[in-house]
């Protein structure tokens, strides 16, 4: 089945640090990847849609200069949380959909990155 690899799984760092999270589709190509954030006991919140070869589409209220997204290839998207602060601590999850699949195919999720800013 389709596998999405997300790395790192956990990050603990000081306030002001920039953190990069990678999302790779291992056995399929994805023109579109999605970045979500999930706070404890809350639902998934879509942050942005990452498009290969073009700019990401950010959801309302998400700062594009703080959450930098680069979709460099059909199998890799990165999210960089710049100058992270404690309020950015959350569970970040990426997902991707097979380029060859129809619109009815599910998104495949990475294992998530738990970010803790001290």
Q: Is 43 in the site for other proteins (CB under 8 A)?
A: yes
Helix-strand-coil split of the chain, %, nearest 5: 5, 50, 50
The single residue among 15, 42, 73, 83 that binds other proteins, judged by CB under 8 A, is 42
β-bridge pairing 32-38 and 45-51: antiparallel
Q: Select from 22, 26, 19, 25 the least CA-distant residue to 6.
A: 22
Using alpha carbons only, give the angle 5, 10, 15 rounded to the nearest 5 degrees: 130
Size of the site for other proteins (CB under 8 A): 18
Cβ(63)–Cβ(54) below 8 Å: no
Is 60 near other proteins (CB under 8 A)?
no
Least distance CB 106 / other proteins (angstroms): 4
Is residue 107 near other proteins by the rule CB under 8 A?
yes
Distances (CA, A) of 110 to 83, 92, 93: 24, 9, 6
* In the complex, least distance from residue 43 CB atom to other proteins, rounded to whole angstroms: 4
With CB under 8 A as the contact rule, the residue among 7, 106, 116, 118 that binds other proteins is 106
Name the residue nearer to other proteins (CB basis): 82 or 99: 99
For position 91 contacting other proteins by CB under 8 A, the verdict is: yes
Which CB, 65 or 104, lies closer to other proteins?
Answer: 104
């Amino acid at each position: 089945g389709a596998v999405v690899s997300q790395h790192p799984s956990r990050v603990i760092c000081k306030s002001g640090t920039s953190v990069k999270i990678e999302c790779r589709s291992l056995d399929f190509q994805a023109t579109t990847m999605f970045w979500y954030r999930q706070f404890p006991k809350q639902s998934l919140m879509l942050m942005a849609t990452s498009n290969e070869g073009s700019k990401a589409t950010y959801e309302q209220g998400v700062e594009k200069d703080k959450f930098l997204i680069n979709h460099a290839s059909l199998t890799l998207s990165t999210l960089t949380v710049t100058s992270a602060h404690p309020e950015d601590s959350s569970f970040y999850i990426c997902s991707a959909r097979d380029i060859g699949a129809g619109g009815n195919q599910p998104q495949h999720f990475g294992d998530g990155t738990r970010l803790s800013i001290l």
